[in-house]
A and B are shown apart, each in its own frame.
Chain A
Amino acid sequence: MEKNLKNKMMNIASKMMLSCERATFYVDKSQYEPLSCIEKFSLNMHLATCKFCRLYKVESNFITTQIKSINFITTTTKNLTQEEKKIIKQTLDKQINTK
C-alpha cells in the first residue's frame, strides 16, 4: 500500500515536470537531432514513470526505421504507363522543336 502510494506520488511529480504532450514532442524531435541535456533529462524522468510515452517512443523509433523505405516506390502499379510516357515525350519534343 505504501509502495503504491509512493509510486503514485512519483508519477504525479514527474508528470508535473513534463506532460505527455511535451514528452512525445521531444521523442519525435530526437528522431532527427540530438536533444539538449535538459530536454534529455526531463524526457528520461518522464519516461521512467510513464508507460504510454515509453510505448510511444518504441513506436516512433520504429516508424523512423521504416519511413525511408517509402522514399522510392518502384512497384509496377506505381510506374508510368507506356502511354503516359509517350504523351510526356510528345510534349517535350514539341518544346525541343520550337526551341
Chain B
Amino acid sequence: MIEAVKHIEKPENWVDNYSDYLFSFAISRVSDREMSKDLVQETFLSALKAYDKFKGNSSVKTWLVSILNRKIIDYYRKNSKKIEYNTLDSDSPFVKDKFLHGAWEKERQPLDWGMGDEDLSGNDDFIKVLRYCISLLPENLRGVFLEKSLGEESTQEICKEFDISASNLWVIVHRARLRLRECIENGWFNK
C-alpha cells in the first residue's frame, strides 16, 4: 500500500503536484517572492534526501509542508537572532512618561472603523492592505506572529522552535498586532 502511494508520489512529480501549494504557503509567511521560491526549492531538495525515511504516515503534501515550515522558522530565527525586547518597544503607541503611563498617545488613539456601515469581510482591497501591512512588520515580530496566527502549533511548540519564553511570545504577538492595526488604519481608512 505504502509502496503504491510512493509510486504515484514519485519525486519527479513533486514540482508539478505541489510547487504551487508550497509556494503560496511560503509567500504567505515570508512576504518575499524570491525568498519563497528558494525555500520551495530547498524543501524539495531536503525532502529528496530524507525520502527514504518517509514512512507514509502522512500524505506527501503534509510532509512537504512540515519541511517547508521548518525552513521558514529557520529563516526567521537566523534573521532575528537577537530579539531585543527593549527595542520592540520603540514604536509603542502608548505614553511613556510617568504621568498617564500606558495610556494611548493622543495622535495614535484608534479611530472608529465604522464597521457597522460597511461589511469589510472578504473585501479584496482590505486583504491587500492587510497583506501589505504584514509584509511591513519587522522580521523579529513577523515570524512568531504568523506562526501563532496561521499555524496549528501550540504556544509551547512555537516557543521551543523560536527559543523564546511564553511571555516573550505574547509581547511579540501584541507588538505585531498593535503595528498591524495602526498600519491598516493609515492605509485603509485615511486613504
Q: CB within 8 Å of B: which residues of A?
A: 15, 19-22, 24-25, 28-29, 31-33, 52, 55-56, 58-60, 62-74, 78-80, 84-85, 88-89, 91-93, 95-96, 99
Contact, CB under 8 Å: A96 / B28:
no
- B35-57 CB mask vs A (1 if < 8 Å, else 0) is 00100110011001000000000
Contact, CB under 8 Å: B45 / A78:
no
Among B113-136, those with CB < 8 Å from A are: 113, 115, 120-122, 126-127, 130-131, 134
Docked pose: A85 CA to B110 CA in angstroms: 44
A72 and B24 contact, Cβ closer than 8 Å, known pairs A15-B103, A20-B103: yes
Contact, CB under 8 Å: B15 / A85:
yes
| 18 A-B pairs (CB sep. < 8 Å) | A19-B94, A20-B104, A21-B103, A24-B178, A25-B174, A28-B178, A29-B173, A52-B104, A52-B110, A58-B113, A59-B110, A63-B130, A69-B122, A84-B37, A85-B16, A88-B41, A92-B41, A96-B11
B95 nearest CB across to chain A (Å): 9
Whether a CB of chain A sits under 8 angstroms from the CB of B2 is no
Whether a CB of chain A sits under 8 angstroms from the CB of B149 is yes
**Interface residue from B19, B103, B130 paired with A85 (Cβ < 8 Å):** B19
**Interface residue from A29, A74, A79 paired with B170 (Cβ < 8 Å):** A29
Contact, CB under 8 Å: A66 / B126:
yes
Contact, CB under 8 Å: A80 / B174:
no
Contact, CB under 8 Å: B45 / A91:
yes
Taking A64-B149, A70-B28 as known contacts, 15 extra A-B pairs with beta carbons closer than 8 A to each other, sorted by chain A number, are A15-B103, A21-B92, A28-B173, A29-B170, A29-B173, A56-B181, A59-B184, A59-B185, A60-B181, A63-B177, A66-B126, A66-B127, A69-B122, A74-B24, A92-B11
